[in-house]
Amino acid sequence: MLRNLAWLLPVFTLLGSAAEPRAQSKEAPAQRVERVDDGWAEKTLKSLSLEEKVGQLFMVRLRVEYFNGQSPSYFELCNNIRRYHIGSVAMSAPPQGRARDIRRRYDVVTLLNQLQLEGKIPLLVAGDFERGVLPAHLFGTTVFPHAMAFGAAGNLAYAEEFGRITARESRALGVHWNLFPVADVNSNPANPIIGTRAFGANPEQVGDLVAAYIRGARANGMLTTAKHFPGHGNTATDSHVGVPIVTDDLEHLRTVDLPPFEKAIAAGVDAVMTGHVRVLALDPDRSRVATTSPAVVTGLLKNQLGFKGIVVTDAMDMAGLVGLYAKNPGRVAVDAFKAGNDVLTMPYGLDACYRAMLQAVRSGEIGQERLDASVLKILQAKASLGLDKNRVVDVGAIPGLVGNPLSIAAGQRISDASITLVRDNGKVFPLTDRRPDMRLRVAYQRAKVQPPLLVIILCDNVRAEDGRVLERQVLKRSPDATVVYVDPRVAADRSDDVLNAADRAQKVVVAVYVVPSAARTRTVARGQKNSASLPDATAKLLSRILARATAKTAVLAMGTPYLTDDFPTIQNYICTFSNATVSEISVAKALFGEIPIPGHMPVTLSNASGPGTKIDHPARVVNVGSPN
């Protein structure tokens, strides 16, 4: 399909010139149906005013953490849906929180039902569910590791199961559209925002896993989205705070970045999300990003790759894109739509963008036919989900459809299969037996000697949840272990004590939590040379530990696997590619020899193994029973 990609540049240059709901269905959640359109979408389109048509193009944010029937944010959302005739909402929530929050899940779904009944046209409800339905602490849903863990496990059936379970749980909660899978190839270790969200660095494997996920999700009633077109993997800037520039040539794009999107399209992906990245080989106009480039969206995605589905922008409130339109904030919506996007996601200024779109249609800058084509796609997607027949879900059916034991076990099984051993000097693994001899424990206590195992959690915030499950898992197996938490704010004060403890310990485990995110770029990693790496203060502590105790120290990469680039002296190294709770459980099992360590490295590491390589490490403890 891309044999003639080298000819695209001149072509692109030319192109670029808590109330109860009024009524609730008692049926199971409507499943995705592939059927001949009965005319609802076309009939509905004809009934819409210009204002209603433009409103269908917009997707606004729904913050679950503030979502209750009495909150100002709920009333604001309701008002915006009515005032601007909004077509879609995107659910967002913190990934971590208290388990008792699960009591609220019925309230949230009830309010979603209420929102559905507020408007003339059913809403598309989207979620950015990259690790299953989040937040799991609220909805009681199945927890999965990050996408890169699936690359390490290397089993397409796991990716398909991931899609299947996420789709079933999403639909049960009233969410229809997942803004996933990530089709980016993470070829840049310094990437501050993709990282473990990608399946890996091998384009063929990434494409196969993307396609498998799409098959599983679509077969179980979910719209899917491949992102971030035309590829966000080889960037070193977070588009939440700046404008990333991709300098790769056309050949690199053809062989690395685009193949996963081709496989996604072949698998029937419903939507493709455009990224706020400058790809100079595709569009040399530096005033544009891919999202606003006709050459990228219409020329490449639609015309060259033949994609006929929904094109959706990445969040338009990201600082990099907002900065380009500071003088005219509404214009971004017009430019993105004219480039070829159908859905305009989370605009920074909803009112300005809505009015700018209305004006562009009224003035003829945007043709009525072009507007109708995009609105029709959106309406057809709603019909394909059965929303024209039933737009609400049965709250009472949730317990039987969400977080069932088989699904929970599947998430854990997949995580277990992803754990990857990169280095092993033969002196650390497995760790001490689960239950040390009582006489030894008494001796340690009487002599006030440091216990034989020291676990150091290096995280961004000692008050956050990172490391808590790992700590409990380690202490179940080795009750005399000492666990300490260090973040950049306390590293200097605690370093001497930690180093002294490491000197006395028989074995040391350092769990490093570095997970790329927009929040991390803005806060913890601000000012760092590489915001995808360990902050300076905790990096210095790890260097000092390795300098005096590397032979007896195991480093656990609970997120980014690229730590060996900065710490080449690591002798014992395990990657989980994830900070999810299932990953913490899996790595504890692996540390104590309860499960084999079967994963294959899905990315290239400096001073370590390359993609596809592994160190075989069978289970060494038999019949111990892994405490979950």
Residues catalogued as catalytic? 240, 314
Nearest to 422 by CA among 546, 532, 576: 576
Largest CA distance in the chain: 86
CA distance 419 to 590: 8
- Alpha carbon of 107 to those of 54, 114, 117, 170, 285: distances in Å? 31, 10, 15, 16, 48
CB 595, CB 416: distance < 8 Å? yes
257 and 185 Cβ atoms separated by less than 8 Å:
yes
The packing angle between helices 350-362 and 331-339, to 10°, is 60
Q: What DSSP assignment string belongs to 275-324?
A: PS-EETTT---TT--GGG-HIIIIIIIIIIS---SEEEEPPTT-HHHHHH
- Sequence-distant (6+) residues with CB within 8 A of 575 are 152, 419, 420, 422, 556, 557, 561, 599, 601
ω into 192 cis (within 30 of 0)? no
Amino acid at 28: A
* Alpha-carbon gap, residue 454 to 258, rounded angstroms: 45
Could you count the other beta carbons within 10 Å of the beta carbon of residue 76? 12
Give the number of other Cβ atoms within 10 Å of residue 442's Cβ. 10
Q: How far apart are CA 628 and CA 623, in angstroms?
A: 15
Please give the structure tokens belonging to residue 579: 């900070």
What is d(CA 331, CA 449) in angstroms, rounded to the nearest whole number? 67
Report the distance separating Cα 7 and Cα 11, nearest Å: 7
- For residue 60, the surrounding DSSP H or E stretch is strand 58-63
How would you write 256-277 as a 3-class SS string? HHCHHHHHHHHCCCCEEEECCC
Cis previous bond, 95, omega within 30:
no
Q: Are strands 420-423 and 572-575 parallel, antiparallel or unpaired?
A: antiparallel
DSSP bridge pairs for 482: 454
State the residue for tokens 């891919």.
290
Could you give phi then psi for residue 315, rounded to 5 degrees?
Answer: -55, 125
How far is Cα 77 from Cα 81, in angstroms, rounded to an integer? 6
Strand partners, 453: 507
DSSP conformational letter for 48:
-
